């Protein structure tokens, strides 16, 4: 089929490249000309394993990018809205970008005679597709639902493994108001081995939030237990290894550490809290999930202060800036509050990340960035491990260049290193 993908960030670019790989013709739309140029040149605007190969294979062939909504809508049968849904000042969802994209789609649909389905893939709080996107499209296209289709198809991919996850999903959820649009959206995934859950848009929207909120809850739960374990001299990893054997619980997301970050968990849990507030429900558990997560990285600085005393003028090496391994994405990275706190107390920060130095530099340009672990560690009074990069697991002699040999590990990576004082965050 012919698909247009609105917004070429992590979700849009990966979806576009994977739909092309499934045999569809895909037009990407963005308002950022540099992303359009990169995609047309077969260069991914973001790093994702396997994405470069797919773009090289399909760009200029089955895949192209443009800023022209009219062209994209005219030349496609289905449009996926994949734009960002950031938090507003209170933490609730900011639908400004979704509204702008819906308006542009509506305007372009006005002159189109053929049936067209608009699919919301962005993560939006329940009722958004029906009460926000649909009315905007109806208004600007001067058409009624039924003359065009509307559906909600949330995305569950993990950054870093996004291409793999798109092609090998655990679930595909299609929420539609009418069978015809749902059938069209479901048919796009032909070729992927996965059962498709068919439902209505608001349920599809809630499935995405419930999914992320549960995973975030698991992490904050593991961190709470981990903090208690630390105080009692218990290894929380040994505890969770056994707890995770219970099939009702499972071992995933029980690793305690510096907490969750990224563009989804913090924002989505806060958005669900915002939606609950809107309908006068007090989401106590969800609030605690966020609170535990906000305290967790700062516990690393506390451990550092307990060990080194005053941090003013001390050189602290921060290893890992990306919110997780295998991505250059720093959004809500747990390294951010840690670096902010270190700078506030007058520490000198030297940082290294295999992929995310450039992105973090836009946020903190006064700290020193290095292109290797060894360079970041040279002369440091302590080292904080903030991201679970594979290459950190094998670090050993690299720590010899430090002034004081002290590791505070936020990711349970380096317990094996000899001749160094090692402090685990929760173990």
Q: Which residues are within 8 A (CB) of 114 and not within 5 positions of it... i.e. 6 or more apart? A: 77
Residue 177, classed as helix, strand or coil, is coil
Q: Which residues are within 8 A (CB) of 203 and not within 5 positions of it... i.e. 6 or more apart? A: 126, 175
CA distance readout (Å), 176 to 151, 200, 336 = 4, 5, 39
Active site residue 82: no
Our finding on whether 35 is near ligand NAD (CB under 6 A) is: yes
Kindly state the smallest distance separating residue 85's Cβ from ligand NAD, in Å.
4
What is the full DSSP assignment across 2-41?
Answer: EEEEE--SHHHHHHHHHHHHTT-EEEEE-S-HHHHHHHHT
Our finding on whether 357 is near ligand NAD (CB under 6 A) is: no
Of these, 3, 5, 11, 301, which contacts ligand NAD (CB under 6 A)?
Answer: 11
The residue among 270 and 314 lying less far from ligand NAD, judged by its C-beta, is 270
Interaction residues for ligand NAD, span 261-300 (CB under 6 A): 263-264
Q: Residue 276 is encoded by which pair of tokens?
A: 């609950």
The residue among 98 and 426 lying less far from ligand NAD, judged by its C-beta, is 98
Taking CB atoms, the residue at the shortest distance from ligand NAD is 9
The residue among 124 and 240 lying less far from ligand NAD, judged by its C-beta, is 124
Of these, 6, 20, 152, 414, which contacts ligand NAD (CB under 6 A)?
Answer: 6
Interaction residues for ligand NAD, span 296-335 (CB under 6 A): none
User: Applying CB under 6 A, which part among 50-58, 154-162, 315-323, 389-397 lies near ligand NAD?
Assistant: 154-162
Kindly state the smallest distance separating residue 183's Cβ from ligand NAD, in Å.
23
Of these, 51, 54, 95, 157, which contacts ligand NAD (CB under 6 A)?
Answer: 157
Of these, 16, 39, 44, 84, which contacts ligand NAD (CB under 6 A)?
Answer: 84
Separation of alpha carbons 129 and 181, rounded Å: 13
Residue with tokens 């094996």: 416
The residue among 35 and 299 lying less far from ligand NAD, judged by its C-beta, is 35
What is the full DSSP assignment across 393-423?
Answer: HT--GGGGG-SS-EEEESSS--TT--SSEEE
Our finding on whether 31 is near ligand NAD (CB under 6 A) is: yes
Our finding on whether 155 is near ligand NAD (CB under 6 A) is: yes
Our finding on whether 354 is near ligand NAD (CB under 6 A) is: no
The residue among 69 and 427 lying less far from ligand NAD, judged by its C-beta, is 69
Kindly state the smallest distance separating residue 81's Cβ from ligand NAD, in Å.
8
Which candidate, 245, 172, 215, 233, places its Cα nearest to that of 19? 172
Kindly state the smallest distance separating residue 389's Cβ from ligand NAD, in Å.
18
Separation of alpha carbons 306 and 174, rounded Å: 51
Separation of alpha carbons 7 and 396, rounded Å: 42
Of these, 79, 122, 223, 236, which contacts ligand NAD (CB under 6 A)?
Answer: 122
- Asked whether 370 and 376 are in contact (CB, 8 A), the reply is yes
User: In the chain, what's the furthest Cα-to-Cα distance?
Assistant: 73
Q: Residue 132 is encoded by which pair of tokens?
A: 């926000």
Interaction residues for ligand NAD, span 193-212 (CB under 6 A): none
Q: Residue 330 is encoded by which pair of tokens?
A: 């720093």
Taking each helix axis from N to C terminus, what angle separates 201-232 and 236-243, rounded to the nearest 10 degrees?
140
User: Applying CB under 6 A, which part among 79-87, 130-138, 293-301, 377-385 lies near ligand NAD?
Assistant: 79-87
For 8, other C-beta atoms within 10 Å of its C-beta total 27
CA dihedral defined by 426, 381, 375, 336, rounded to 10 degrees? 50
The residue among 83 and 222 lying less far from ligand NAD, judged by its C-beta, is 83
Of these, 1, 100, 249, 363, which contacts ligand NAD (CB under 6 A)?
Answer: 100
- The partner residues of 424 in beta bridges, in order of sequence, read 409
Our finding on whether 9 is near ligand NAD (CB under 6 A) is: yes
For 394, other C-beta atoms within 10 Å of its C-beta total 10
- The partner residues of 370 in beta bridges, in order of sequence, read 352
Of these, 16, 83, 301, 304, which contacts ligand NAD (CB under 6 A)?
Answer: 83
Q: Residue 239 is encoded by which pair of tokens?
A: 């505890």
Q: Which of 82, 229, 264, 426 is catalytic?
A: 264
Our finding on whether 253 is near ligand NAD (CB under 6 A) is: no
Of these, 3, 4, 5, 10, which contacts ligand NAD (CB under 6 A)?
Answer: 10
Kindly state the smallest distance separating residue 23's Cβ from ligand NAD, in Å.
23
Residues that bind ligand NAD (CB under 6 A): 6-12, 29-32, 35, 82-85, 97, 100-101, 104, 122-123, 155, 157, 159, 263-264
Q: Which residues are catalytic?
A: 264
């Amino acid at each position: 089929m012919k698909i247009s993908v609105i917004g070429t960030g992590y979700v849009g670019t990966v979806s576009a490249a994977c739909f092309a790989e499934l045999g569809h013709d895909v037009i990407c739309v963005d308002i950022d000309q540099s992303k359009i140029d990169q995609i047309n040149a077969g260069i991914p605007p973001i790093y994702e394993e396997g994405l470069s190969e797919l773009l090289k294979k399909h760009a200029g062939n089955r895949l192209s990018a443009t800023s022209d909504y009219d062209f994209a809508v005219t030349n496609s049968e289905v449009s996926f809205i994949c734009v960002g849904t950031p938090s507003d000042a209170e933490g609730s969802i900011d639908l400004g970008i979704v509204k702008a994209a819906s308006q542009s789609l509506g305007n372009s649909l006005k002159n189109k005679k053929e049936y067209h389905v608009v699919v919301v893939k962005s993560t939006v709080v329940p009722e958004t597709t029906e009460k926000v996107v649909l009315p905007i499209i109806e208004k600007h296209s001067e058409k009624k639902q039924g003359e065009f289709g509307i559906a909600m198809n949330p995305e569950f991919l993990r950054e870093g493994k996004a291409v793999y996850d798109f092609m090998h999903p655990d679930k595909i959820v299609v929420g539609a108001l009418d069978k015809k649009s749902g059938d069209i959206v479901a048919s796009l995934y032909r070729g992927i081995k996965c059962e498709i859950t068919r439902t209505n848009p608001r349920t599809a929207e809630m499935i995405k939030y419930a999914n992320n909120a549960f995973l975030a809850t698991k992490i904050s739960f593991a961190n709470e237990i981990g903090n208690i374990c630390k105080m009692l001299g218990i290894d929380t990893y040994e505890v969770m290894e056994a707890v995770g054997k219970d099939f009702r619980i499972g071992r995933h997301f029980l690793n305690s550490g510096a907490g969750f970050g990224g563009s989804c968990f913090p924002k989505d849990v806060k958005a669900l809290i915002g939606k609950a507030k809107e309908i006068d429900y007090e989401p106590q558990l969800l609030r605690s999930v966020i609170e535990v997560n906000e305290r967790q990285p700062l516990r690393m600085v506390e451990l550092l202060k307990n060990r080194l005393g005053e941090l003013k003028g001390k050189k602290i090496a921060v290893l890992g800036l990306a919110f997780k391994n295998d991505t250059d994405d720093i959004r809500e990275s747990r390294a951010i509050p840690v670096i902010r706190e270190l700078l506030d107390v007058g520490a000198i920060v030297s940082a290294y990340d295999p992929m995310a130095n450039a992105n973090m530099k836009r946020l903190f340009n006064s700290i020193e960035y290095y292109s290797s672990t060894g360079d970041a560690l040279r002369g440091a009074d302590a080292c904080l491990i903030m991201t679970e990069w594979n290459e950190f697991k094998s670090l050993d002699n690299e720590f010899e260049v430090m002034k004081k040999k002290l590791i505070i590990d936020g990711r349970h990576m380096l317990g094996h290193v000899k001749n160094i004082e090692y402090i685990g965050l929760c173990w």
